[in-house]
Structure 1
Amino acid sequence: MHKNTIFRLTALTLALTAGQAMAAAESVIEKSFYPYKGETPKAAGLSAGLTINQANVAQFKDIIDPAFYGFIEKGWLEMQVGDTTSFDLHPNYVEASRQGQDQVKLGAKPGQIEGWVAGRPFPQEPDANDPRAGEKLAWNYKYGYNWGDSAAISPFYWKYRDMDSAKVERTIKFDFHFLNFTGRVNQPPLPAITPNPSQLFRGIYVKVLEPYDVRNTQLLIHRAQDDLKRDNSWLYLGFQRRVRRLATGQVTDAFLGSDLMIEDFEGYNGRISDMNWSYKGTKFLLMPFYNHNDLTLDSETHKDNDGYQVVAFAGQGGCFPNITWQLRKVYEVESAPVEGSHPLSKRVHYVDAQTFTVPRTISYDRKGSLWKTFTIGQAHPDHHLPKNKGSGVSIDDSFSMIDVQAMHCTTGQFKGQVDPAMSKPEMFSVQHMRATGN
């Protein structure tokens, strides 16, 4: 065969191989970020507008997580079904994931990762035969687009409720602020805030606005880029007028007497290396995703000056958000604490496959008994506040942490705002806590 012919055939083969590889890589991105593009999940007898209650819940046992199934079976609430809709993340985050695809690898031990710059580190479907599949999913959550590069919940109302009497025992009004120092894809500066001498990945800043007895209580969390480094956390107590560093164990104490630990925030607020992660499978489950503006909202309390209304609560003790639920693709991930002194034996997280938020978590005590169940309602940004439209952020919009052993719950009503002006870097410092604490 002529040399030129051989050369052309070789070049053609290489081009075809490269084209096939590019197509396969793009298929991974499409499947990860747009899982409902080709087909919407279905279940026998399920349709938008359906109410699931005691009478018919058995029919849908396979698509409701076991804790919530038990609640409906007891008559604690009815579940309203909505259409499955796509929660497209910001195109810049998708592109960062595309650019980083196959560049990211786990290190030798949990908490170590190499090659990540921004985006979803492991967009590939989890492999049940991969012993570290759960850990990869945990990294996808940690480096997810939850609240984007920065955002604020202002105001944020927590109510402490007795599930038997439905009495609201206490209401606390907060401001919460979130800021990513690295892995930024949308809000300048990109891809990182500099200088960053402490090499931080993320900051969380919390301030209590009401009531008077805890007003000006502040919490600051610094999470390092290096997951093997412990978080630095500080608490400012208004009545003492001083900042103190939180001991490691305090992140698993009840936060301000609520049913939440600091470690519970956003579904899991800790290091990857603090848990042993296990991937338990992929399934379709009803999840708390909805359009905020389409709901019947709370018209009686917390109405904002701009007319914004928070999600209403109903059901047993007023402990359940009055929302609609979508059938969605979910990864079931189990996290078991490395330290035996932890108050939990494990959490089971139901991770949304498209957004990598954690809208449902079930927690078990040291004896392995069901203890708490956490719901974080996800609102579509294009059906929320005007400033959130086009942000590509799945908006945390309501929460319910239920302690089934104590028959008590803490509920959350949000005004989530994707607005970089509300969460500036200088806010995430001990000096800021002291300056604003008086």
Structure 2
Amino acid sequence: DANDPRAGEKLAWNYKYGYNWGDSAAIYPFYWKYRDMDSGKVERTIKFNFHFLNFKGRVNQEPVPEITPNPSDLFRAIYVQVLDPADVRNTQLLIHRASDDLKRDNSWLYLGFQRRVRRLATGQVTDAFLGSDLMIEDFEGYNGRISDMNWTYKGTRYMLMPFYNHNDMNLDTDTHEDDEGYQVVAFGGQGGCFPEITWQLRKVYEVEAVPVDESHPLQKRVHYMDAQTFTIPRTVSYDRKGSLWKTFTIGQAHPDHHLPKNKGTGVSIDDAFSMIDVQASHCTTGQFKGQVDPELSKPQMFNVQHMRATGS
């Protein structure tokens, strides 16, 4: 309701508690490419594994509705490990998000070359992550607390959105095919910055998010939340002066036209991304192998001890 002053905030809560990636998932592996948009040159390719786990609000993976014990009262955790290239190999990121939205995230970074874990300062979630065009806060469309933003509902509209059947797309036959024969989405267009996918006309909610912290590098983000899945496949970001800075696309693949293990899960599969810095003519693209498989994201992975053990 446009007359509800809290409509934007309610939509943000729906996103937080939505079925984004389901109860747990792994992007395993996950390729990021840093690209010069003018020349098309790929400056760097980073290979990651990303893991997501909901501790609470679980609906179909055992245990339901929550994992116990959960002494820190976590809502969700994210664990990231860099596999290649050598200079950043074994860099790891761990994020703990509390059930209480007013509690700050606890985040840790393990640097392979230093062989030590250090806590991330709050401000670092808005730095360029590993020199890419993304900040940690950008992950999945928005990766932060609801209380870190002022949310405003701007209207409901029908827009072309990046929803498609992965197996029907023009896939990348040149790179990243794995032992199972899985192929990632191909990229083309200017600088190779655009996923070669089909788009659907979808009902979306336009929501503006303005940072509470005045020192935040953004003036605002405009999110386009998909009404059916409550994912955020499109986000446009503006710098402090109010100028267009970045445009973010996250391709959403239907789970029944993807890997066999994803069939029937009901999860909208993050399948490709493109973060374009229009001011710098630069982009970071992501090619995914998203798997909804609880065996790949066990609770014991999401702690600091695991980072140390994996890194040593």
Name the TM tier (shorter chain): over 0.9
2:40 counterpart letter in structure 1: A
Deviation for aligned residue 1:207: 0.1
Matched residue, 2:128: 254
Partner residue, 1:147: 21
Which runs of 5 or more structure 1 residues have no equivalent in the other structure? 1-126
Distance in 2, matches of 1:268 and 1:231, equals: 14
Partner SS state of residue 125, structure 2 = helix
In structure 1, which of residues 222, 226, 238 is the aligned counterpart of residue 96 of structure 2? Answer: 222
- Alignment partner of 1:294 is 2:174: no
Bigger relative CO (Cα 8 Å, ≥ 6 apart) = 2
Q: In structure 2, what is the Cα distance between the partners aligned to 1:151 and 1:371?
A: 30
Counterpart for residue 123 of structure 1: none
The corresponding residue for 1:207 is 81
Residues in 2 aligned to 1:145 and 1:422: alpha-carbon distance in whole angstroms:
18
Partner in structure 2 of residue 377 of structure 1: 251
Partner of 1:333: 207
Computed over aligned residues only, the root mean square deviation of the Cα atoms, in angstroms, reads 0.3
User: How many pairs does the alignment contain?
Assistant: 312
Structure 1 equivalent of residue 279 of structure 2: 405
Deviation of 1:262 after TM superposition, in Å, equals 0.1
Alignment of 1:287-326 (within 5 A): 287-326=161-200
Tell me the TM-score normalized by structure 1.
0.71
CA distance in 2 between counterparts of 1:299 and 1:207 reads 25
Moved over 4 A (4+): none
Q: Which residue among 55, 59, 63 is the counterpart of 1:189? A: 63
State the shift of 1:421 in Å: 0.3
| Distance (Å, rounded) in 2 between the aligned partners of 1:330 and 1:361 | 12
Match of 1:426 among 287, 300, 311: 300
Specify which structure has the higher proportion of helix: 1
Q: TM-score, normalised by structure 2?
A: 1.00
C-alpha deviation, 1:294, in angstroms: 0.2
Which residues of 2 match residues 54-65 of structure 1 at below 5 A?
Answer: none
1:128 aligns with 2:2: yes
Q: Deviations over 1:372-404 (max 9, x none)?
A: 000000000000000000000000000000000
Which residue type is aligned with residue 379 of structure 1? A
Distance 1:234 1:144 in 2: 25
Map Cα deviations across residues 337-392 of structure 1 (whole Å, 9 max, x no partner). 00100000000000000000000000000000000000000000000000000000
Q: Partners of 2:38 and 2:154 in 1: how far apart?
A: 34
1:420 is matched by which residue type in structure 2? P
SS of 1:189's equivalent in the other structure is coil
Equivalent-residue separation in structure 1 for 2:7 and 2:139 (angstroms): 23
Give, as a single letter, the amino acid of the residue that structure 1 aligns with 2:284: T
1:368 aligns with 242
User: Which structure would you say has the larger Rg?
Assistant: 1
Cα distance between partner residues in 2 of 1:283 and 1:304: 39
Q: Following TM superposition, by how much is the alpha carbon of 1:231 offset from its aligned partner in structure 2, in angstroms?
A: 0.1
Amino acid aligned to 1:315: G
Partners of 1:219 and 1:211 in 2: CA distance: 16
Alignment correspondent of 1:356: 230
**What letter matches 1:144 in structure 2?**
G
Write the distance in 2 (CA, Å) between the matches of 1:128 and 1:405.
Answer: 33
